Structures are given as structure tokens and as C-alpha cells.
Amino acid sequence: MDKEALYTLHSGLPRQSPGGDATTRRAIEMLPKGFNPRAIADMGCGPGMSTMVLAESFPEAAVIAVDTHQPFLDQLADAANAAGIADRVSTVNRSMELPGEEPGSFDLIWAEGSAYLVGVETALDAWRPLLRAGGCIAYTELVWLSADPPEDALNYWQEVYPDMNTVQGNLDIARSAGFDVLDHFVLPPSDWWDEYYSPLQRRINILRMEEGISEVLNNAENEINMYSLFGGCYGYVFYVLALNTRTADVSRRPA
């Protein structure tokens, strides 16, 4: 993969995966009643659309936005400054596994379209110790929605994302990792078309004259076409989890 070409394609886009402000707020509403996090980490935040909604929804919280692509973090920092919340939103250029971070650092960990980068199991195992007692995690993940997807769709995603799981498979992973599932839901098609693919297609059209990135552009258009044909058999699912009390107690028990 040509990372520089990929970053060129995604430069200036509002999102790096399907999602939407309304969808982020819907997931927030699924958190426990009265949940009032003071420390939030938005892992793999990209340009920070979800970060801004989190900061708006929890005005008493400090939000750390984590990504490894500095231009995305700069874009978010500018947005936070313009919104007058730069004092509560900080950016960190680090791996979203946050190695070396103090245990119990966060009340809420958020990850829209990013957990797959390290694998859902790896992500949940890395993030669980970072939560305080009563902490929650919310993340989106690409999954199969059909038990028998068309062969073309199956072949495409087995090449692009061979670890793609089912809705139930990810529920099982979450529970095995020490979490209770508060709720989950499928992201609507508008989060794909209006929020992600339409801006992406416009960007592709602009970059068609650029040399050296045609392969990345073709791959992106192929993904868009695949969703237009087979989007009903796969999609993103939002999972909202709470740290299992028994697991939390065990993880904090003295050795």
C-alpha cells in the first residue's frame, strides 16, 4: 500500500470511514444513565469529527484525540480552536494502543472505524486496563450482515479485510474481553454515502490528473462500487460496551 498516496487521497476529507454526527450522538445515548466521563480518549480519531461531538456532549470532560497522521491532528486542533474548546481537546501523535499509558486513565474510550487497524481483540485487550472502574468503550467495526454474502463481495473483502467478522462474532469477542454489551446498531446507508463516499468520490475526481496515485484512486472507486452493489450484506456496526465489574475488580487486584 502506498501510504503517501492514500494520505493524499484522504487529505481534507471530513471522515476516514463511514459515520455521522447523529450516529455518534446515538451511541452516546446508549451509555449508562448518568454516565459523566471526565477523561475521554478518541482512538484513531482522524480529522476528529467524533472528537468534536464528544467534547460537545460532555462539556466537563478532557478529550485526548489519538492518531499517527499529524495533518489529521492539525485539522482537528484548528477545529477545536475555532470552536473555543482547545483547552479541553488535546491531540497526541501515538499508536492508539497507547503503550505505557497509566492504567485507569480514562472513563470512556471511543474508536470509530479504527479498531480494525490493530484488530478488535488486540484493541480491547489494550484498552481495558486504561479504563477506570465503571468505564465504557464504544467503537465501530465493519462486519458481515448476511450469513451468505454474494461471492463477489466475499472475495473482495477476504482480500481487503480477511479478519472481517459477523455481528455476533464481535459480540462474543467483547464479552470474552471482559465487557458487557450495552447495545449495538448498524450504521445507516447515509453514513456511507452522504458522510463518506460522496466527499471521497469528489476528491477522487479532483485527483484524477495527479500522477502516481492512480492505483489508490482505482481501489477507492472499486470499494465505492462494491458497496453500491452489495452494501446490504455488510456494514459498520456500533458497539457500546461497559467494563464488566467482576473483570474490573480482578484486573485491579494486587498481585
**Segment 197-203 mean pLDDT:** 97
**Contact by Cβ (8 Å): 27, 50:** no
Q: Between 192 and 254, where is the model more confident?
A: 192
For the residues 35-39, what does the mean pLDDT come to? 97
**pLDDT attached to residue 209:** 79
CB 74 within 8 A of CB 3: no
The residue count of the chain comes to 255
Give the pLDDT mean for 129-158.
97
What's the whole-number mean pLDDT along residues 9-34?
A: 96
Note whether residue 45 is domain-resident. yes
Q: Does 18 map to a domain?
A: yes
- The pLDDT value recorded for residue 200 is 97
Dist. CA 15–CA 46, nearest whole Å: 7
What mean pLDDT do residues 215-243 have? 97
Q: Which of 65-74, 186-195, 237-246 has the lowest mean pLDDT?
A: 237-246
Q: Is it the case that residue 115 has pLDDT exceeding 80?
A: yes
Residue 117 belongs to domain with CATH number? 3.40.50.150
User: Rounded CA gap, 72 and 229, in Å?
Assistant: 31
Could you tell me if residue 121 is inside a domain?
Answer: yes
- Has residue 78 been placed in a domain? yes
Q: Domain residues for 87?
A: 3-244
User: Into how many domains does the chain fold?
Assistant: 1
The pLDDT assigned to 239 comes to 98
- With a cut of 90, say whether residue 255 has pLDDT above it: no
Give me the pLDDT at residue 249, please: 46
250 inside domain:
no
pLDDT band of 210, cuts 50, 70, 90: confident
253 within some domain? no
- Please check whether residue 53 lies inside any domain of the structure: yes
pLDDT score of 161:
96
In this structure, is residue 249 part of a structural domain?
no
Q: Give per-residue pLDDT as tens, 162-192.
A: 999 999 999 999 999 999 999 999 999 999 9
Question: What confidence score (pLDDT) does residue 185 get?
Answer: 98
Strand partners, 143: 165, 235
Q: Is the pLDDT of residue 211 over 90?
A: no
What one-letter code names the amino acid at 32?
P
